[in-house]
């Protein structure tokens, strides 16, 4: 169990003693005491860890974290506040943040709100001054598990009972996908792209607009007939949260689209492209989350550093006989990071090419998508 009091560097002390008011209780009985920030609400979610040094705003606003408590391994979080232009979603739905040291001093350069103020408005809880190294080691050794973020008075026994009685979340995409189509105002676009929204990051949208595409974002359950009303030159299947096997509507849509239009899948979209072609996916022990994952492109031998956020992966053994060609692998654990069905101009990557860890190393994948759309438009 974490210590019940600790020294702080941000002045939040009373007589030199840390003021305990929040508690994190895990399914295995582990308990961590700390100080709350953000919203003062209880939350039961799966706990995962992210190894990124910067980008906490992009992380908490990434809809792929829907229903997860994210433990940040970098110790200092909140030190540059939040900015409107850095959001990855208009309405973030992360379960909560777990950090070692929270800094609530608002910087003077371009920040609009402190991290705590922003999370409070979004009704997202946080806890700090807990041992994030111990939490991360526990997850790495035992795998991801659920925890209750609650008030300090809650007993471990009551917390575990709450965890046992709280059902597991399913069908995450239905909670984060847009309710109706929306689009960019691109002047004189060269291509029309439809994004199937499973929890799309806004930077994917902005990257395509910067490539002179008109981009229309549609709900996950859009029919092929509705999709073709937007006259797309290509379709992007977005990132998103949860188990890919929960998304029968999107899998069916990919099957109907494949061979008719170029398809580009990112993250969850990568897994859904695999499932649509008869491959399998599995839940990883603790997933990939961070901005430093080395990925090798098999045809060229080129290695890039990538940004990743996923709990599930494609089973490489299940690719045999599907017509899918592996194109990228993760150099840390050998998992499938890229797939292609060349004759259908369909391809995918497990990582986020728009995430800029390189910072521009993987933008070529959007150019490849555009090349496929160009060839498709030139067909007689």
Catalytic residue among 45, 172, 288, 352: 352
DSSP type of residue 11: S
Is 267 annotated as catalytic? yes
Q: What angle do CA 117, 122, 125 make, to 5 degrees?
A: 75
Residue in the structure block whose two tokens are 């990124």? 52
Q: Phi and psi of 253, rounded to 5°?
A: -65, -40
| Among the listed residues 155, 145, 132, the one whose alpha carbon sits nearest the alpha carbon of residue 34 | 132
**Do you know the residue count of the chain?**
380
For 265-325, where are the alpha helices, taking DSSP H only? 268-276
Is 352 annotated as catalytic? yes
Sheet with 325-330, strands from edge to edge, namely 182-183, 213-219, 191-197, 234-237, 263-266, 346-349, 336-341, 325-330, 281-297, 303-314
Helices 248-257 and 268-276: crossing angle, nearest 10°? 70
Catalytic residue among 31, 66, 267, 270: 267
Is 354 annotated as catalytic? yes
Distance CA 185, CA 71 (A): 37
Determine how many CB atoms are found less than 10 A away from the CB of residue 295: 23
User: Catalytic site residues?
Assistant: 267, 352, 354
């Amino acid at each position: 169990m974490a210590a019940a009091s600790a020294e702080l560097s941000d002045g939040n002390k009373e007589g030199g003693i840390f003021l305990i008011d929040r508690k994190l209780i895990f399914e295995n009985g582990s308990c961590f005491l700390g100080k709350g920030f953000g919203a003062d609400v209880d939350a039961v979610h799966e706990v995962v860890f992210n190894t990124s040094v910067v980008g906490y705003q992009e992380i908490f606003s990434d809809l792929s974290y829907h229903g997860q408590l994210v433990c940040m391994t970098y110790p200092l979080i909140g030190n540059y506040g939040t900015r409107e232009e850095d959001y990855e979603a208009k309405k973030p739905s992360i379960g909560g943040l777990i950090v070692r040291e929270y800094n609530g001093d608002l910087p003077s350069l371009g920040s609009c709100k402190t991290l705590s103020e922003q999370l409070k408005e979004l009704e997202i809880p946080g806890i700090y001054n807990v041992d994030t190294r111990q939490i991360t080691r526990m997850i790495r050794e035992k795998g991801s598990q659920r925890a209750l973020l609650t008030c300090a008075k809650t007993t471990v026994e009551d917390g575990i009972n709450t965890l046992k009685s709280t059902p597991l979340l399913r069908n995450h995409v239905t909670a984060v996908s847009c309710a109706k189509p929306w689009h960019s105002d691109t002047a004189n676009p060269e291509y029309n792209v439809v994004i199937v929204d499973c929890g799309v990051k806004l930077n994917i949208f902005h990257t395509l607009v910067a490539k002179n595409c008109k981009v229309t974002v549609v709900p996950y359950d859009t029919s092929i007939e509705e999709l073709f009303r937007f006259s797309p030159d290509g379709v992007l299947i977005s990132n998103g949260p949860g188990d890919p096997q929960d998304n029968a509507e999107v899998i069916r849509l990919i099957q109907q689209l494949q061979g008719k239009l170029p398809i580009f899948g990112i993250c969850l979209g990568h897994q859904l492209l695999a499932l649509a072609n008869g491959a399998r996916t599995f839940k990883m022990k603790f997933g990939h989350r961070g901005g430093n994952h080395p990925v090798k492109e098999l045809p060229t031998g080129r290695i890039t550093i990538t940004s990743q956020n996923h709990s599930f992966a494609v089973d490489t053994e299940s690719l045999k006989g599907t017509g899918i060609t592996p194109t990228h692998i993760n150099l840390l654990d050998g998992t499938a990071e890229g797939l292609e069905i060349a004759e259908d101009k369909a391809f995918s990557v497990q990582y986020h090419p728009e995430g800029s860890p390189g910072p521009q190393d993987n933008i070529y994948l959007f150019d490849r998508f555009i090349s496929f759309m160009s060839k498709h438009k030139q067909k007689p």
